[in-house]
Amino acid sequence: MPWFGGQHGRMTESQTSSDDQLAEEATAWFVRMSSDDIGADDHRAFSAWLNRSPAHREAYAEAESLWSELGGISDPRRLGGRDAEQPHDAGRRQRDADSSRRGAYSFAALAASLALVVAVGLWSSGAFDRLGADHATAVGETRQIALADGSLVDLNTDTALALEFTPACRCVRLVRGEAFFTVVPNAERPFQVAAQSGVSRAIGTAFAVRDDGDDVIVSVAEGKVRVTKDVGGAGEGGSALLTAGAVARYASTGTVKTGVVDVEALTAWRQGRLVFADRRLRDVVAELDRYRPGVIVLLESAIADQRFTGVFDLSDTDLTLDAIETTLAVDVIRVTPWLTLLRARD
């Protein structure tokens, strides 16, 4: 598990990916089992996960150890307090000096640990969703799967799907992320994708559904898709029938809104590409963030509206950051593999 540290030999790309996923799952289970609202089902599921292999037990032990170490770091705000301001003898002054040095070291350790906690939190934020999914991808991974009916699904980065295929319905729930569906026609058995409070129904078509946390975006490449909001309630969100080139957007509140879009550019990730056409830097950064572990932070709002254009390879998002630095008045500061800062160039 690379992010836990320790001595590891040279690992293949597949081994690293497998270890990263196991580390995510272990952290997610540790956080879950430390909460106050776990039940018998949680305990059974955790026991089953833990007993899958010695590697699962080792990953959980390392996650537990990591969090114990983080919890033992001294609070730097408590160092050098009132007693340090009122020394009574040389020995006390020496102890205060030692304490101050320890405080500096502890503060540095705390800062590093907080960065690690942020990284772990970012990893584990999607781990719970993936634990309950039938198909899922990690951050930066894309994959195509074939469903039992012959339909194809392209999963974008950090995506999780749950399936419920019955004789009456081919039902899919987009738990998180984005997927492109190429649907085999079957009028007797509709294909539908639920996301947040809405559902997209198709008979034979190709379309994408994306849940970005706030909104759900449905775009149609071919055929027709009906998007309906709040299917479990009164349906006050309305519905819209989309044809090729159309897009619909809905949130937890409000109605379904429609428009037109370049679906090929919007779903260029299926060919391993990112396409930006005169996009605001804030939007470019938000898109890049989806394909990288950690976060990219804009330090100054003044640079957020600078415009950026280009076509880039998804397999190396650092090249996109390099292009941003070359073409815009922006400095890219890579603090750690999980934290990148963007600021205006002096």
Question: What pLDDT is stored for residue 7 in this prediction?
Answer: 33
Kindly state the helix (H) or strand (E) to which residue 74 belongs, with its residue range.
none
The number of distinct structural domains making up the chain is 3
Q: Decide: 320 and 293 in contact? Cβ < 8 Å.
A: no
My answer on whether 317 and 257 are in the same domain is: no
Q: Alpha-carbon dihedral of residues 32, 38, 39, 44, nearest 10 degrees?
A: 20
Cα(216)–Cα(214) distance, integer angstroms: 7
Query: Are residues 321 and 204 part of one domain?
Result: no
Question: Within a 10 A sphere around the Cβ of 132, how many other Cβ atoms?
Answer: 12
Residues 97 and 210 in one domain: no
Range of the domain at 295: 272-344
Query: Where a domain ends, among 107, 131, 155?
Result: 131
Tell me the C-alpha to C-alpha distance, in Å, between residue 328 and each of 276, 278, 318, 342.
14, 12, 15, 11
Q: What is the pLDDT of residues 313-324, one digit of tens each?
A: 999 999 999 999
Predicted confidence (pLDDT) per residue in 80-90, tens digit: 333 333 334 44
Is the entire prediction scored with pTM above 0.75?
no
Which of 87, 111, 131 corresponds to the end of one domain?
131
Residue 339: how many other CB atoms lie within 10 Å: 16
Lowest mean pLDDT, pick from 63-77, 209-223, 261-275, 296-310: 63-77
| pLDDT at site 114 | 47
**CATH value at residue 280:** 3.55.50.30
76 neighbors 107 (Cβ within 8 angstroms): yes
Are residue 111 and residue 14 in the same domain, yes or no?
yes
Instruction: Please state the rounded mean pLDDT for residues 144-162.
Output: 96
For position 154, which CATH number holds?
2.60.120.1440
Domain boundary among 131, 160, 193: 131
